[in-house]
């Protein structure tokens, strides 16, 4: 399915950055093997021929702890022929202890410098929360299976699409609702802040996946 024209932060439009500014280089490192890389392949394709080559997607698969993904991404950067300005680490809470899950965000902040920025794109409980927020807002604490079931219901009801882990075209199917998803993700931040939930592991449901569009959103052309 072809991605639709992007909606931006809050307003649904993104006008602020000139197309004349050259897009930076990005590495997306995913813990998940199915839904996440397929979603970001859709994002990359929507960047068009001029910019899709500036995004690399690598999949590690589940490790013993979340910081394995960080080490994997650093190692990839060390040996890759190109240099990356941004490294996006995509991972879920459902597979990891709270201490490891929380440590990743701190590690990203500590290791970011003027030449490379690391971003923790965590989801609690799982990545499927991000596409779910394209359809509705929820503050209900949920398991990964609960979240996946809720997404499957919304996709079938709204799009006539049966969700599965290896579904291609997820980005294109939901992206015309991205403005709403970004607003809902921001509302969840406020919601958890009001409850005093500071650590990522305490913020169920919540996700930071949408933050990647603050950087690459203006370059989407699909």
pLDDT tens per residue, range 60-102: 876 656 788 999 999 999 999 999 999 999 999 986 789 889 9
pLDDT of residue 222: 59
Q: What are phi and psi of 4, to 5 degrees?
A: -90, 170
Is residue 203 included in any domain, yes or no?
A: yes
Query: Which of 7-11, 18-22, 49-53, 55-59 comes out lowest in average pLDDT?
Result: 7-11
Is residue 104 included in any domain, yes or no?
A: yes
pLDDT of residue 10: 37
What is the number of alpha carbons within 13 Å of residue 135 lying toward its C-beta?
A: 17
Is residue 6 included in any domain, yes or no?
A: no
Is residue 102 included in any domain, yes or no?
A: yes
Whether the per-residue pLDDT at 186 is higher than 80: the answer is yes
Is residue 9 included in any domain, yes or no?
A: no
Q: What distance in Å separates the CA atoms of residue 131 and residue 108, rounded to the nearest whole number? A: 24
Instruction: Identify which has the larger pLDDT, 12 or 46.
Output: 46
What is the count of structural domains for the chain? Answer: 1
- Domain carrying residue 100: 26-219
Whether the per-residue pLDDT at 3 is higher than 90: the answer is no
Is residue 8 included in any domain, yes or no?
A: no
Is residue 129 included in any domain, yes or no?
A: yes
Query: Which of 40-44, 57-61, 194-198 comes out lowest in average pLDDT?
Result: 57-61
Is residue 36 included in any domain, yes or no?
A: yes
């Amino acid at each position: 399915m072809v991605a639709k024209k992007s909606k931006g932060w809050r307003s649904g439009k993104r006008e602020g950055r000139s197309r004349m500014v050259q897009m930076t280089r990005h590495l997306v490192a995913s813990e998940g093997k199915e839904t996440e890389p397929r979603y970001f392949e859709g994002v990359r394709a929507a960047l068009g021929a001029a910019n899709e080559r500036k995004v690399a997607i690598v999949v590690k698969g589940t490790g013993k702890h979340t910081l394995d993904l960080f080490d994997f991404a650093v190692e990839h950067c060390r040996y890759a022929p190109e240099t990356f300005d941004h490294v996006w680490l995509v991972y879920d809470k459902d597979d990891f202890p709270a201490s490891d899950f929380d440590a990743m965000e701190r590690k990203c902040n500590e290791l970011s410098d003027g030449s490379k920025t690391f971003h923790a794109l965590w989801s609690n409980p799982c990545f499927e929360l991000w596409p779910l927020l394209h359809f509705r807002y929820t503050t209900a604490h949920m398991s990964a299976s609960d979240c996946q079931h809720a997404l499957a219901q919304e996709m079938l009801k709204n799009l006539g699409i049966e969700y599965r882990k290896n579904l291609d075209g997820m980005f294109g199917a939901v992206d015309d609702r991205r403005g709403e998803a970004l607003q809902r993700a921001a509302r969840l931040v406020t919601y958890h802040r009001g409850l005093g939930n500071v650590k990522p592991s305490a913020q169920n449901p919540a996700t930071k996946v949408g933050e990647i569009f603050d950087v690459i959103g203006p370059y989407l052309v699909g």
